[in-house]
Amino acid sequence: MKAQNISETGCAVCGELRPLYGMSQLKAIKRQLHVLAVSGVTRVERKNSSSASREYKGPVLDYNCTMVCDSCCGCIRIGKIPKLSLANGLWIGDIPPQLKCLNFLEKLLIARIWHTCAYVKVASGMRKMTANVVAFQSPILKVYKILPPPHDDLNEVLAILYIGPCKPTPDDLKRLPFFVCHNNVLQALEWLKLNHRDYADVEISEENLKQYSETEIPVSIEYHEYSHNKVPEGVSKHDLEADHGVMEGECSFSVHSLTGESI
């Protein structure tokens, strides 16, 4: 349990978190990094429509990292591009602030393809609140050329169940990531049109955006009375807490997905 045995850091070549004991300094292989100088992988962020598309020069790396894992290091030393390296078509660049600030619902509104349906369960106890999302494959894929989508379409892919000893108050609802900020959605779509090739032909509809209230959750919430927010089957005998979740601030939120092939 020593720190050097469990500490992790990012690999500059593949971008993955790896144990620190299996890493070495990137500068140790700086003379062999030319094998990672691949064209057609990176793209410099565009600030406006008049800017030309350009690539970054030099090897394709995560320049926020200074270490390289042993697996990538071994491939580079023999002149090969590692299978999981960013240079092998896996580079996405830094996440811009326009996308970092989006909540769960705002991410749905900027998605060009809706391939899942989401069922949200918000569980409120006497003092704490938590939320879980189960996403499963939608039978019909929706591909949008106009974003955000119309308000009525949201009811087909999102359902919210609230359980607790009493109905949610406006203050309770404010803690959930289901409110739409028009400015956040607009800035995200404008950035994607400039910098994501799949969004180049997307039309941004301010009329559709106005259909979403900034002060109300855009889908209906089903309420069921429940005395606590724990699932008895998932509680350890050592769990002595009365409720799960957080007492104040933004509600704890986790997303689960169901995948598989039908027989």
Q: How far is 185 from 181, CA to CA, in rounded Å?
A: 7
Q: Are 147 and 160 in contact (CB under 8 A)?
A: no
Beta strand 129-143 with 252-258 is parallel
Over residues 203-239, the pLDDT tens digits come to 999 999 999 999 999 999 999 887 765 665 555 555 5
The confidence score (pLDDT) of residue 226 equals: 79
Looking at residue 136, its pLDDT comes to 84
Which segment of 111-120, 137-146, 227-236 scores lowest on mean pLDDT? 227-236
* pLDDT at 156 exceeding the cut of 80: yes
pLDDT band of residue 126 (cuts 50, 70, 90) is low
Q: Of all residues in the chain, what percent carry a pLDDT higher than 70?
A: 90
Evaluate if residue 140 carries a pLDDT over 80: no
Integer angstrom CA distances of residue 47 from 92, 147, 182, 192, 204: 17, 20, 20, 11, 17
Query: Of 124-138, 171-185, 243-257, which gets the smallest average pLDDT?
Result: 243-257
CB < 8 Å & 24+ apart, contacts of 72-79 = 72/11, 72/13, 72/14, 73/13, 73/24, 73/28, 73/29, 76/13, 76/29, 76/32, 76/33, 76/35, 76/36, 77/29, 77/32, 79/32, 79/35
pLDDT higher at 157 or 139: 157
Find out whether 110 and 82 touch, Cβ atoms under 8 Å.
Answer: no
Residue range 83-104: mean pLDDT, rounded: 93
Provide the pLDDT for residue 237: 56
The residue-averaged pLDDT of 66-80 equals 95
Q: What is the pLDDT of residue 205?
A: 96
Task: Tell me the average pLDDT across 128-143.
Answer: 83
Work out the pLDDT band at 262, boundaries 50, 70, 90. Answer: very low
pLDDT in tens, 11-48: 999 999 999 999 999 999 999 999 999 999 999 999 99
Q: Which amino acid is at 230?
A: K
| Per-domain residue ranges of the chain | 3-88, 97-258
pLDDT tens-digit series, residues 177-186? 899 999 999 9
Q: What is the pLDDT of residues 162-205, one digit of tens each?
A: 988 888 888 888 888 899 999 999 999 999 999 998 999 999 99
At 245, is the pLDDT very low, low, confident or very high (cuts 50, 70, 90)? low
Q: Are 251 and 168 in contact (CB under 8 A)?
A: no
